[in-house]
Structure 1
């Protein structure tokens, strides 16, 4: 039987909304939608799609490490963006993080995210080998 491990970032929203930053069951890890906010809830990279994407991927990498994984274990990312015309900015940061890993990915334009300052939200799925 696989044991479920819920990983929290400590954000107040986790208890209010009822979610975990990541959930690990066996060798499978799902990372919740992640936006560019620091540990104090401040937006990182105002109006900078590249900076927000890069920061989010660093947050995802951190939670993966907590789950015993790394970006190398990511098999899928999902990017929700508020302005698809900024594709190159999002893609540049994603490409820097995943150039050699090349997970499956999607980039979907959404009407809005949880706050207007956020330009992108990313989810990730990782699977540990073996």
Structure 2
């Protein structure tokens, strides 16, 4: 056994593109970039970076749970924004979740995300020792 576990969200792109929503490799848990797609498959908070960042973080929390980890275990996040001038909106949502946890973080502007309605994407890495 390799000690690597892969978990999917059930979304259609994982199999087509060849990736997992979350991968546990030993005590490390790596969550792929999460966007503001709600459980119903629709974009949450069109035009609103703050609401979209909140949804990204909810999606990360669900992905971590699949691998037996929590937001408390997160050691690094990366926030990709379409418009860096709106960083405070994403930062506010990030701070509400990670204010006490304080993982390492990178926030950067990108030219585009795959769906033009999406304004932010967030990925996370966690350290969660197995019981």
TM-score category of the 2 structures, normalised to the smaller one: over 0.9
1:47-126 alignment, distance < 5 Å: 47-126=47-126
In structure 2, distance between residues paired with 1:54 and 1:128? 23
Structure 2 CA distance for aligned equivalents of residues 17 and 113 of structure 1: 15
Provide TM-score, normalisation by structure 2. Answer: 0.95
Deviations 1:5-51 (A, max 9, x none): 10010000001101100000111010001110123421111001000
Following the alignment from structure 2 to structure 1, what is the Cα–Cα distance between the partners of residues 2 and 95? 33
Spell out structure 1 runs of 4+ moving beyond 4 A: none
CA-based RMSD of the aligned residues comes to 1.2
**In structure 1, how many angstroms separate the alpha carbons of the residues matched to 2:28 and 2:38?**
26
Query: How far did 1:57 drift?
Result: 0.3
Larger displacement relative to structure 2 (31-40 or 102-111): 31-40
Query: d(CA) in 2 for partners of 1:41 and 1:55?
Result: 12
CA contact (8 A) 1:11 1:39 kept: no
Stretches of structure 2 that go unaligned for 5 or more consecutive residues are none
Segments of 5+ residues of structure 1 without an aligned counterpart are none
For residues 94-125 of structure 1, give each alpha carbon's deviation from its aligned partner in whole angstroms, at most 9, with x where no partner exists: 00000100000000100100111100001100
Match of 2:34 in 1: 34
SS of the counterpart of 2:39? coil
Task: Decide whether aligned partners of structure 1 residues 79 and 101 sit closer, same or farther in structure 2, where only a CA change above 3 A counts.
Answer: same
- State the alpha-carbon separation in 2 of the partners of residues 2 and 29 from structure 1: 15
Q: Distance in 1 between matches of 2:41 and 2:114?
A: 13
